[in-house]
Amino acid sequence: MRTTTTFALAALAVPLALAQTTSSKRGLCYVNTTYSNTDDPIWDSGNSDLTWYYNYAYTPTSGIDGTKLQYIPMLWGAPPSNTDMTFYNNVKSLIASGTQVKYVLGFNEPDGCVSGGSCVDAQTAAKTWIREIEPLKKEHGILLGAPAVTGSPTGFTWLQNFFTACAGNCSADFIPVHWYGDFEGLASHVGQVNGTYPNMTMWITEYALAEGSLADSQTFYNQSANWFDSLSYVTHYSYFGAFRSDVSNVGPNAAMLTQKGQLTDIGAWYLGQKATGNTPKGDAAQVAKFAGWAAVVLAAMMWVMT
């Protein structure tokens, strides 16, 4: 059920020789794992390129808080009641306590109802947005990320339904995009989002070549980073994600850290550093054991692999 549109394939011609190895667009897609306390300092080490992070929540991660990575709060799913103001109040508190909040993100994979997406219907999401997210722009000038739908065709439908339900009252400033698959698919998908929302900037907030060989994963990483750096309408991107290869739910070769917590080549390149030569290894038993954290993100994978 993968989309086969051929938008933006001209992008494939972007030569690797034009590679920019550093970019201020890069951020961290933070997931909590059993290794987080040990690994958190890596992301801001050695002149790291990273300038921002999100953690699917609205409380900063203690191991990253206070570094140069700017925190982006997210309202992950539907709150428990239709009068709930927890997200709004928490963002206000962050601002009151001196945290700079320039952006917020709304809803993680709301069209994902099979495994781990936030599974929110468009009407509920629109009402919640109008109540808890939109006022943050009016009151604090915060720029708002549209709901981050999955890379599947249902994502486009869901987002369309969301904006219809909003009836003009949800003023998203940018479109977050998720993609798991190869570079041709990524380019096609981004082209389709651009075609659907031609005047919106995009953030690629989750992407990876899942379960690829190491060589393919590295080539994918290079091609996509170079391409995002060259596209003026992609202002931010965060490669998935902050974890070791042995607990990676997108395969060990995509990971930025080895099973020992050292930067892989991809991890080092992402931080704007030289290749390390550290080879990531997987461990199926570990992935199963720590699959809990993966639940927040797994939905994106389902349609790609079926």
Ligand X SMILES: *[C@@H]1O[C@H](CO)[C@@H](O)[C@H](O)[C@H]1NC(C)=O
Residues that bind ligand X (CB under 6 A): 7-8, 16, 19, 21, 32, 34, 36, 130, 167, 169, 191, 194, 198-199, 218-219, 222, 269, 275
CB closer to ligand X out of 34 and 154: 34
Tokens 């931080």 belong to: 271
Phi (first) and psi of residue 155, to 5 degrees? -60, -45
Minimum CB separation from ligand X for residue 306, in Å?
Answer: 27
Least spacing, CB of residue 6 vs ligand X, in Å: 11
Question: Please, which residue, 34 or 161, has the CB nearer to ligand X?
Answer: 34
User: Coil, helix or strand for 227?
Assistant: helix
Residue 150 CB, shortest distance to ligand X, in Å, is: 21
User: Cβ closer to ligand X: 17 or 96?
Assistant: 17
Q: In what order do the strands lie in the sheet with 174-180?
A: 74-75, 103-106, 143-145, 174-180, 201-208, 234-237
Q: How far apart are CA 306 and CA 295, in angstroms?
A: 18
CB of 87 to ligand X, least distance (A): 16
Count CB neighbours of 144 within 10 A: 18
CB nearer ligand X, residue 153 or residue 191: 191
Helices (H), the chain: 36-39, 86-96, 122-128, 134-140, 153-166, 183-196, 214-230, 265-270, 284-289, 291-294, 299-305
Which residue, 81 or 199, is less far from ligand X as judged by CB?
A: 199
Closest contact distance (angstroms) between CB of 303 and ligand X is: 22
